[in-house]
Structure 1
């Protein structure tokens, strides 16, 4: 054990050593020698898009960000230049861009792998994720393996890493082994699995308590069972467009107590019911456009009364009943364009006291405008109303009664032959017709 005086001398020596080392690093960085034909911008060394044989053998010690994309680098790593930091311990390689090459495995980047926080390996030929290949990347926070040839994610694929963002878009993944993301559960926040070949998602597959954004669009999932996403308590957005979804079982999204955005566009869903919406208490945006929805059950919105945006465009709705939107008192935008709506019940919009934008374009509601007394009278905060393409022939003085706040009204592409006197007189705020 050293005396207090000796300890103070050791501390002073350590501080002096670090200062000298930092000065050496600073002078080396100030030199900023840029190896041709690479381009240097600040701490970024851009060696992308080089012709074969042009890659420099040694890269500057001051490099912090390195772009080696769009070359023809292959594995083994002999084809990848090694960074030499012999004179400067403070320069860290925290960004390595190796996309658009010919790598067939995650490369070995030597002793500096432990410093890398972002690794971009998109558009290569990588066919599997190996725990041994990833283990050296101790500080890795973002890993992009999109546009490769990966076919499955095994339980042993990932070591324990501080990974926050994992991008696996456009691979050939058809299977997710139970527990495949367990070692990332303490850190993972964004997971993208778009454009793969997943046909089923086992219940409770994603035990990722910190995940905030999950993307599963353009897969082959036809049915979502109850509790499928249980374990994603922090999830804020889920994207499942273009899957061919036809069945959402009761409790399909139960457990997503913090979900704000759910995107289910371009599927084959036929109805909206409270069974599959159960538990979505914080949902703010629901996108159901381009499905085959012909029915909204009377109590559909019981569990998601915080919706501010609802998109039901390009579906098969023919009727808007008095119960169709009950409970959506904070709804701000409603999109029902490009359906087959020919009937709107008296009071169908009665509960939408906060609605500011209503899109009903390209439906068949001519008689609603011509014959009903104030079909929109409950929408006293509505600012934008889109009614183009609805075969409307005449506009009466009661057609738009109650729309005192309306600023934008679109009646284009109709067959209007007559407009009664004072048909628009009550709309004092109208700016565009």
Structure 2
């Protein structure tokens, strides 16, 4: 077999040059983000990400006919990765600028109350950290955004998602793995462009009370609330000296606890929102209704006792069409988990205004918010477990259906197709139950 060695060398040179060029574009995004990071641990994590990207090489599949396709597939992955990280970091820069403009809307006075706030930037003299060909948007002179350290978390999340995807699809060859990575990057880009604001699927009341950023996202307003509470206490109880300092410390610790609890509730609720959408889509594919995602809140005084049947159903499919024992409650919007348990007392809170937050600044309200957070985290973890089990069962069913031709056919002449389908369904259910038990 004759081989054109010069053509092979030209292909190697061309592919390697294009691969290194796309790798440089991706590295520049992480390097420009590294210039903003001030924390030593985050710098170390981001430096490790840069080292991993530098070490990346195309995975050549020796079972393929030629090596050019392996280079092209890897280049597509690098390009999609660079597009995604550029979109995320540029959006973070815009968000940080809006946050700084909100904080310093009245200008800098140099007083002690400004201590601890992030430094403002002067919107003059744009500079490019990446040189003549910047990967991210240009920033102003002395403009620093330490929150760009999230680039390392994004990289770690993508790597973890790729690893789990390879295990789920049992990808063995390099070409299979790089194709799955391409699909993941493409889906991530599509999801980013379609990404809605947190809390979109929740009710309008929850969005106003919890997700609204008009008051709690403004540190100046929160600080003024704390100072006003301290001043009113001084006027009423005439606290002086050490007592005043202890009261001020306790008051601002309570405010900090409120801010932290709200942030964690929003974080868990947003994750639950995404998991609920995945659960609904997977339930529709598997033939189940959306009602299994919700639970109707029933007051204890009006609850009706139900008799427990002597023989419990073995499979959930036996209750699929049962409208008497299964509650078909499906609300128009996603509720908070605590509202499925208690919607009148604990589930009622608001961070929308000064007066609403003032009512939460006591030990009883803090404990109620902690209950809200615990319920939301438990709901989120239950959804994660349900999604993992359902994905495993669905994947197992697909694999069994693909190997349906391997079923014994010695009774094919006397057994109807309906009987064979029932036998296959029974085997799929048994396999799913065994997997869940394991």
TM tier, smaller = under 0.3
Give the TM-score of the pair, scaled to structure 2. 0.20
Ranked by relative contact order (alpha carbons within 8 Å, sequence separation 6 or more), the top structure is 2
Structure with higher helix content: 2
Give the TM-score of the pair, scaled to structure 1. 0.20
